[in-house]
Amino acid sequence: MLKIQQDRLQFIKWSGLFLIGSLGLLFPQGTENHWWMLPLLGVLVAFLWTRTSAHWTAAKVGVLLWSMGKVAFALDAEPPGHVLILLGYLLWAWNLVQLKDRTRSGMSLTLFLPLMAGVLAAILLKPTSLQAVYPLLDLFLLVLALPSLQAFMEGRTSLGRSIWITGLYALLATDLSEAFTNTPNHFLVYALIYTAFAYGIRLEEARQSESLTPITASAFVLLCTAQLVSHSLLPHEVGLLHFYLAFMGIFGLLLALRNHQKLTQKQFQTFNTALLTMLDTRESSYRELRMDELAVNLFENLRHILPELKGLQLEGTDTVLMGNPTPLLREEKVYMEGRPSTHVTFYFSEMPAQKHALEATINAAKYVIQYAARQHAMQAQLFVDPLTGVSNQRALPGITQRFEGLSSRQGSPVTLCLLDLDHFKKINDQHGHEVGDKALKLTATLIRKQLRGEDDMVRWGSDEFMIFLYNCTPEQAAGTLTRIRQKLKLFSQDRLGFTVSFSVGIAGGVVSLPGDLGKWMLSADLHLLDAKVRGRNQTISGG
């Protein structure tokens, strides 16, 4: 099966649209030729084989019915042709009603009211005929499309919407021309308009980056239609309506482009601020990567960029949900350095209208998660002892600052324990440094298993560890160290063949002044020396 690259396929599609219009400009006298149905049928067959979501299925079928109606006219089967075209209008009206553009149609309504008044006045001057019904139906579709038109002119939708909105303008201009002339069935013009509708529906559903191509194509369709139908002998008032339609279309395109750029710039500034906040790395100390903290940070900042975001879930080793789950969701997989992959689910009240902003924000969130994991891995190399896996001395200033802040704000005690393995030099001399390393790793592992999430520990020296126990009194800390001592005695005898013990000095309390933890470090060190003097393998605590 022949496969065409996406960029080349898009180029072929746009080239077909511009080719149909250019041929009409080169041969304006042949627009009523039935052969112009062939390129239209080619486009519509390709359109028929493309998948369409439920949001635009009715509009897709409507375009197909319109095209079949024109083919029926070409075959001189006018009654079936009118039926098919009326059914197409009905489906388009239903589709426009289903769109979720909830906005006041202030500016679009202001531009539309003179057009509506002019079309109604012109129709009243025309003897009643079935052909005069179609401009009224075009007006009806434009009324239903006013919220979508307003959202587009405000820059809150993709630029691809310009194609089918321009198609409605061009359809009204062409139907007005046919209602007031004796040269009906501008087959080339309808081929151009229906092709624009087909591309517009595809662009509404496509998740791709914005470009100026839809705006350029919309202006081209509008100007081609105005030029091609102007060859008919039109009454003066209809000529004025054509001019106003062209003006309204060009003004809407320029206004939408301007507002789209302003909104994009504003979103970029908001996004840039949020990204800098999420990537704030002023705290240089090493901390374990906490998925709950990462989820809170992401969710709070992403809501400033996408107000439709109602929930965020990170699922890796742990599952964290912020906000509320909704039926509308988007799932992504993030590969994290040094950790299992994380599945990220975004929950929305409604899907954001600007798909480029949605994609940019989701990509930014994935980057922030990857950045956090990468930063964690880099910090681990700087602030983690490679032998025991606990923090090293470089991390001590940040850990001290963190516990001082917690204790002073919440009024909870912090207990500092300074632990030293007994006769560690003798272990190295008798059993070798490899066994000494195993004794250190075993001790660190047993201590870490007794610590809670809010606690921390640092390898302070070659055989010393500093333990921080939050919301824990010195008496409670002494009980914890007794349990660790008992387990170390059993495990060391089983795994190393000899008993490993340690001495501990304890000090702590509630931080009231900066530097209290520094004073307690000195006190714990003195108590540790006292424990060694008293025969080792014991715990001494005090203030």
Domains and CATH numbers, the chain: 1-19+34-267 (no CATH), 286-377 (no CATH), 393-541 (3.30.70.270)
Structure tokens at 398: 């940040």
Q: Going residue by residue through the chain (543 aa), what tens digit of pLDDT does each one get?
A: 333 344 444 555 556 555 665 665 555 555 555 565 666 666 666 666 666 666 788 888 888 888 888 878 877 888 898 899 999 999 999 998 887 666 666 777 777 788 888 888 777 776 556 677 888 899 899 888 888 888 888 877 777 788 888 888 888 888 888 777 755 556 778 878 888 888 888 777 665 545 677 888 788 888 777 777 766 666 777 778 878 888 888 888 888 888 877 877 776 666 666 666 555 544 444 555 677 777 888 888 788 778 888 999 988 777 888 899 999 888 888 877 666 788 889 999 887 766 666 777 788 788 888 887 777 777 767 888 889 989 898 889 888 988 998 899 899 999 999 999 999 999 999 999 999 999 999 999 999 999 988 899 999 888 999 999 999 999 999 999 999 999 999 999 999 999 999 999 999 999 988 888 989 999 999 999 999 999 999 999 876
The C-alpha angle 288, 292, 293, rounded to 5 degrees, equals 70
Three-state secondary-structure class, residue 185? coil
Q: How large is the angle between the packed helices 37-48 and 57-74, nearest 10 degrees?
A: 150
pTM, to two decimals: 0.55
Structure tokens at 271: 């996004």
- Would you state the torsion angle of the CA atoms of residues 491, 497, 503, 507, taken in this order, to the nearest 10 degrees? -20
DSSP single-letter state for residue 145: T
CA distance 351 to 207: 12
